[in-house]
Structure formats: C-alpha cells, structure tokens
Amino acid sequence: MGLGIGDWGFVGGKSNKSAGKRVGKSLFDGNFLLFNKICLQISNMNFRHATEADNDQILHLYHLTARLSGGIARTEPEITPEYVQANTRKALTENGLIMVAEQDGNIIGEIHAHQYGIRIFRHILTNATLVVHPYFQGKSVGKQLLTTFLNYIRHHRTDIRRVELESRATNQKSIALFKSTGFEQEGVMKNKTRNADGSFEDSLMFAWENPDFDEEFRQSR
C-alpha cells in the first residue's frame, strides 16, 4: 500500500513572471521548486513505461511524498535505493507493470503493480501503488496516470483480469479517485494501519476488473 494522492503540503520557492518559464534549479535539485504558477498547468506531460534508469528520480519522488503525513505507507527511512530498485526490477522482469508521468524530463508521478508469483493468481496485478509529486497533487496528474495505466492493461495486458490496491479509510481523496476510475471497494481490513501517533485505522480493499480480459486466456488456463 502506498498512495500519494491528495492536496498535502507546500514546497516553497520563487517565481519568474515571464511567460511560464521555470527558473533556477531543476525540479528535483535541492529542496525548492523554482517555477511559476503557469508551469502548474502541467503542459508537456507525457506517460511512459519506467526503466531502471529512472530509479534515482523515483527514489527522490518517494522521499518527497513520504515527508507528508499519510502520503504513502512507508516512512522516508524505509524508502531505500534497494527498495526502489526491487520494485522496478520486479515489475519489469516478473510480468508486472510500472509507468511514470513526466514533464520536461522530470518524473512527477509513478505507478506500479506486481503479480503474486502464484499460478492461481496469475490473472492479477496487486499492491498497485500510485505516487504523485507533492507540488503536482490535486492537478489531475494522478488520475491521468492511473487512467493511462488501466487503459494500457485493457489494450495490451489482456491476460490481466484484476488490479488490486488498498487505501487508508480516512484518505477520501484517494478513495474518490479510485472509484472515479472504475475501482470498487471489496472489503475492509480492520485496524490494519497504525499511524505515527499510535492510533489505528482500517484499510479498504479495492479492485478494478478488466472489461477486455481475454476469453481465450481465461479458457486456456
């Protein structure tokens, strides 16, 4: 579970009033984002498959999101280069799927899901994790990336029938996003999540069913 959706936090900086230019350092260089409001129109954004060459940017993306309370399940010290490398490698080599949202060469969102590695569950991608850079949350990046991910499965991964994910019960923005893209809540795991303050909360189980699941795959397996 690791859901980086919502309007959390603020990363300060200064802006340049000239026609939407990003100024100063790169989006991922240092602690400040130095571009103006026009850049927040999310122009020139594209979606693509991730590669292992993206691991450094993905690591930084996860660290930024983990600094926000409730941003993702793991704390910042738990997000190591080895963790990110293992996620990417598993998605690429074990029939999973990993994609990124990119603007001007900077990764601003990432989504991945893996297979269980058990034959009876080979039609499932599970533990789907969606992370969006804090400065781009609430600007439809997460929805566009998730929609692209699901559309790719519909048209190119017809061996997949289900995509599964979890959400904290209190994360209403994520829940609304998942429902808006076709996920249905299937269950509740009571007191699964222990928050930083020691309190417990439920985790909700969601699944999306691929309407283009291949009947031949269904019958031949």
Q: Among 6-15, 60-69, 99-108, 163-172, which stretch is predicted with the lowest mean pLDDT?
A: 6-15
Q: What is the spatial distance between Cα 133 and Cα 58, in angstroms, rounded to a whole number?
A: 10
Q: Is the pLDDT of residue 8 over 70?
A: no
pLDDT for 35 equals 37
- The DSSP H or E segment spanning 112 is strand 106-114
pLDDT one-digit tens code per residue, 49-92: 999 999 999 999 999 999 876 668 899 999 999 999 999 999 99
Question: Quick check: helix, strand or coil at residue 199?
Answer: coil
Share of the chain above pLDDT 90, in %: 71
Q: What is the spatial distance between Cα 214 and Cα 71, in angstroms, rounded to a whole number?
A: 35
Q: What is the spatial distance between Cα 54 and Cα 44, in angstroms, rounded to a whole number?
A: 18
Sort 30 into a burial class: Cβ within 10 Å, 0-12 / 13-18 / 19+: exposed
Which tokens is 166 given? 């979890």
The residues near 109 (Cβ < 8 Å, ≥ 6 apart) are 61, 100, 101, 130, 131, 132, 133, 136, 141, 142, 145
pLDDT range class, residue 34, cuts 50, 70, 90: very low
Q: What is the spatial distance between Cα 87 and Cα 68, in angstroms, rounded to a whole number?
A: 21
pLDDT for 215 equals 72
Question: The whole model's pTM is what?
Answer: 0.80
pLDDT one-digit tens code per residue, 139-151: 999 999 999 999 9
pLDDT for 218 equals 55
pLDDT for 68 equals 79
User: Average of pLDDT values for 197-214?
Assistant: 96
